[in-house]
Chains A and B, each alone.
Chain A
Amino acid sequence: MPGSQANLLQGTLDLLILKVLALAEMHGLGIANRIAQVTKGTFQVKPGSLFPALHRMEEAGWLASYWGESENNRRAKYYRLTAAGRRQLQAETRQWETIAVAMRSALRAV
């Protein structure tokens, strides 16, 4: 079922973005780099999925954005977590853990 796989991936990306932003405010490129780093290169987030996700999450009220200066003195759009985003992170983390535990036990049982 390709549909459910896409959903799973999208959910994963959202969770990763929330997690990464929980630690620090970052711009798009920083987020992509950071995700690659924390997942030890498993997830290489392409801009084609990163930016729609960021904007969608901003629309949802989980992220807020502002224009700031990047490390090499360039203008960049920074994202940060809102209170709603923080709650969303908690909820999604819980959900993910439940699923992970369930999946693991399911796979072992067979």
Chain B
Amino acid sequence: MNWLKRLRSLWRNLRHTGAVERDLDQELRAYLDGLTAQFQRAGFDPAAAARAARLELGGVEQVKEEVRQARMGRLLEELTRDIRYGLRSLRRSPGFAAATTLVLALGIGANTAMFSVVYGVLVRPLPYPQADRLAVVCLHYYPRDFEFGTLCLRDFQTWQAGNHVFLEPSLFSTTQLDIGGPQGPAEPVRGAVVTSGFFRALAVQPILGRAFAAGEDSPTSPSLIVLGERLWRRRFGADPNVLGESILVGGLPYTVIGVAPRSVGFPHEDTEAWINLKLAPPTRYGPWFYRGLARLKPGVTMAQARAETSAIAMRMMRQNPIYKRLTLPMLGVRDWVIGDPRVRKALLVLIGAVGLVLLIAVVNGANLMLARGTVREREMALRLSLGAGRLRLVRQLLVESTLLAIAGGAAGMLLAYGAIALLRAWNPGNLAMIDSVRLDWRALAFVLSISVVAGMLAGILPALQNARAHLSTTLKEGGRGSSGRARRRTRSVLVTAEIALSLMLLVGAGLLLRSLARLERVSGGFSAPADRLWSALISPGDPKFRDPNTGVPFYEEVLRRVRQVPGVEMAAVTDALPPDRQGDADTFGIEGQAVAAGEINPIVSDVTVSPEYFQALQTPLLRGRYFTEHDTPNGQPVAIISQSMARRFFPGRDPIGERIRQSGAELGNQWMQIVGVVGDVKYLGRRDQDSDAAYYMPLGQSYAPRLYLLVRTAPGIGPVAPALRQAVQAASSSATVAEVTTMQQEMARDVAEPRLDTALLGFFAAIAVLLAAVGIYGLIAYSVAQRTQEIGIRMALGARPGEVLRLVARQGAGLALAGIALGMGGALALTRLLNTMLFGVSALDATTFLLAPLALALVVLAATAIPARRATRISPVVALRYE
């Protein structure tokens, strides 16, 4: 209350200086009047009285100044004194200060790092003005069932025709662009094909030249390219004369019209070039290559936009009977760039978890301070007896704990700096927007505020308890305070809380760990050793290879040369690779299958492969045969299907010999005879369980200009990347090679994000358990020290070491049990938050809920055992002489 009043008065002093000044002015004037009246009563004439009074008052301004100083100075002065005293007192117990600082530094450091990550990824404003008014428009329909799926040009026309809410709907599609020309060998970069409204929707200005103008997405428009700043600097030496130049993109001439600032990372962070999409009038539905990007008109809300797009979706469904349950889901730009919605969820879970770590650190700090309070009891009692107010003492102790927390914050900042540098260098979870994760003034402000809050929180309970020292008893008791019992009770409660909180984290980490183990055990669908499988994305460069008649021979030549590379056992090309590099997906028809009008079979992966693909991967052949070199364009069209496809669409019968065809009936694709059934291969990541159906077509009968090279090397062969690159470019000098990796790397990347989540939560849980162990150790050790005499007497009266051990251990066990019971309750309530992060493990997984408390109990018992064993070695003689 006193504090509150004081704060209010300080606030008044600072804020309402005018009112305070007026008050003071009136007060002094009243004094002067009173004094004058007094002098008059004493016999002075009025003028002389006034003069005498003024003389006695001295300079009015001077008095005022002194009053001001007295008012303002007092609080600051006391605070400075508290701080100086606190520093001195902390210097006297460096062990305590270091331990508390370290404990708080762990908590604050972990929180600061996590805060910076969450801020950078989820909060930091995007480089587009009013980015919250931008929407990425997708298409979701049954049977494709891809939530944020793509639109085709027909859909775009329907959208444009019905649009009233967006300024200028635009389309974009990501692609790889092979930038060629005299500046060096052709270089594959991530690019995008966009309609003319794209940059106007983003509302970014090029740093050089211009963006696409209206109408530059017409079929007759010239081919134009906007370079990203990084590409422009890297490849063109930041030459402004590049504007208007014609450069080769995929072997075709494009005119450079502008350079976009490096801040533009859309559709992807690493997009480095944008070319204009030429909107030829569509003759049919598909291909579904595009997503929409549009900015809301001023005054239109997202809800209104949603209402209109669902009306447009109804229209699309009426126009095309294949679309079932069609919606136009919209994503914010940030959600689009982050990609997987699980990332946001995981980050929020992690920030919650790290908050628990801070809480444990604070509780631990409080515990240490309580322990120190025992030692300081006499000091407190002495100060009380000398007239210090209890509130004064409380404040003193709070200042000390805050000092410690600020020291902890400084150390934590260093920890966070290291952690963020590490995270950015490795980016182990492939987090999007990792570049905007950094320690800045916000992180500094965050550290300062959580340090102060942590210091206050950690300090308040010990301060109240320690300032409650009873004078007479304490001073008489010779050091062992009477409030010791209350303090021990408080400490027990705190330790119990620590155990409970750390159990919650441990259970969470255990669940993620088990989920990750399950996920990693999921097969990618191949049994060849992953470290011997190499892949690379080949782009032939020259546009003539878009024609299968030249493209297929090109790839055959590539394969022939690659097979000559020493150490290469098998080589194949394909447009899709496990575990998550799906190339194409399409529906299919089965000969003789009765499909209702407007119905289609679900969309599944369709993969173009050369012979040896399955042999290189060692994907088992279950029936029939693999593709061979005899499956040529002139031969009988053939297909291989996956086990899941066979099971789902040919139940109870042999699919060999049956015929399927690609896409819907209206395209008139030729029937392909099924010649084999192979094991399921993952093309959408190992987490995905429902899309193992796939059909394969042989290279030649099917073709895509950009294909992956897949190579299996002999055991013990080192990196083959340079040799592969050479072999490809020997087949065509315009060809580019990108994404050279081993299957091992790809399999790790596929689970990188859950692995990062697991590592972080595991790390947090480890800190938590460590802190809890330290907490219980400290408490038991203290209690043994306090009970030295009692234990000595017991032993003198014949208690055996085992009984003493049990006596002490019982205390630890009691705390552990209470903490574990509470923690189990908390974990049961909280783990459901992990649901979306778990794979193949229930949020209430019995094994985890059994093992985690068991492990924690063991740690706690071990922490108890050390002081307990010390208790058994107490010598009765020494103990009775104790003190």
A41 at the binding interface (Cβ < 8 Å): no
Interface pair B75/A59, CB less than 8 Å apart: yes
* B387 surroundings in chain A (CB, below 8 A): 88, 91-92, 94-95
- Nearest chain A CB to B27 CB, angstrom units: 4
Interface pair A29/B34, CB less than 8 Å apart: yes
* A72 surroundings in chain B (CB, below 8 A): 34, 37
Interface pair A76/B30, CB less than 8 Å apart: yes
Residues 386-398 of B, flagged 1 when their CB comes within 8 A of A and 0 if not, give 1101000000000
Q: How far is the CA of A74 from the CA of B30 in the complex (A)?
A: 7
Interface pair B30/A55, CB less than 8 Å apart: no
Known: A55-B67, A95-B387. A77 touches B74 (CB 8 A): no
Interface pair B30/A53, CB less than 8 Å apart: no
Interface pair A51/B63, CB less than 8 Å apart: yes
Residues 39-57 of A, flagged 1 when their CB comes within 8 A of B and 0 if not, give 0000000111001110110
Could you say which of B54-62, B321-329, B504-512, B658-666 contacts chain A? B54-62
Interface pair A59/B6, CB less than 8 Å apart: yes
Q: Contact check: which of A33, A48, A60, A95 meets B74 at CB < 8 Å?
A: A60
Q: How far is the CA of A55 from the CA of B34 in the complex (A)?
A: 19
* B23 surroundings in chain A (CB, below 8 A): 77
Q: How far is the CA of A9 from the CA of B387 in the complex (A)?
A: 19
Known: A48-B58, A52-B69, A59-B9. A28 touches B26 (CB 8 A): no
* Size range of the chain B interface in the assembly: 20 to 34
B35 at the binding interface (Cβ < 8 Å): yes
Q: How far is the CA of A105 from the CA of B222 in the complex (A)?
A: 109
A34 at the binding interface (Cβ < 8 Å): no
B649 at the binding interface (Cβ < 8 Å): no
* B66 surroundings in chain A (CB, below 8 A): 48, 51-52
* B5 surroundings in chain A (CB, below 8 A): 61
* Size range of the chain A interface in the assembly: 20 to 34
- Nearest chain B CB to A89 CB, angstrom units: 11
* B69 surroundings in chain A (CB, below 8 A): 52
Q: How far is the CA of A87 from the CA of B6 in the complex (A)?
A: 17
Judged by DSSP, the binding face of B is helix
Known: A55-B67, A59-B6, A77-B26. A47 touches B74 (CB 8 A): no
Q: How far is the CA of A60 from the CA of B23 in the complex (A)?
A: 18
Which of A53, A55, A77, A92 has the most chain B CB atoms closer than 10 A to its own CB?
A55
* B288 surroundings in chain A (CB, below 8 A): none
Interface pair A55/B71, CB less than 8 Å apart: yes
- Nearest chain B CB to A49 CB, angstrom units: 8
- Nearest chain A CB to B652 CB, angstrom units: 89
* A59 surroundings in chain B (CB, below 8 A): 6, 9, 70-71, 74-75
* B24 surroundings in chain A (CB, below 8 A): 51, 55
* B67 surroundings in chain A (CB, below 8 A): 51-52, 55
Interface pair A28/B70, CB less than 8 Å apart: no
Q: How far is the CA of A48 from the CA of B68 in the complex (A)?
A: 12
Interface positions, chain B 29-75, Cβ under 8 Å from A, are 30-31, 33-35, 37-38, 56-58, 62-63, 66-67, 69-71, 74-75
Q: How far is the CA of A98 from the CA of B34 in the complex (A)?
A: 38
B2 at the binding interface (Cβ < 8 Å): yes
Report 29 cross-chain contacts, Cβ distance below 8 Å, ordered by A residue: A27-B31, A27-B34, A28-B27, A29-B30, A29-B31, A29-B35, A33-B38, A47-B31, A47-B56, A48-B62, A51-B24, A51-B27, A51-B63, A53-B70, A55-B24, A55-B67, A56-B71, A58-B71, A59-B70, A59-B74, A59-B75, A61-B5, A61-B6, A72-B37, A74-B30, A76-B31, A84-B2, A87-B389, A88-B387
> Can you add 20 more A-B contacts, CB < 8 Å, to A47-B31, A51-B28?
A28-B27, A29-B35, A29-B38, A46-B58, A47-B63, A48-B62, A53-B70, A56-B74, A58-B9, A58-B71, A59-B9, A59-B71, A72-B34, A75-B26, A75-B30, A77-B26, A77-B27, A91-B387, A95-B386, A95-B387
Sorted nearest first, the 10 A-B pairs with minimum C-beta distance are A91-B387, A52-B70, A56-B70, A29-B34, A52-B66, A77-B27, A76-B30, A59-B74, A55-B67, A55-B71
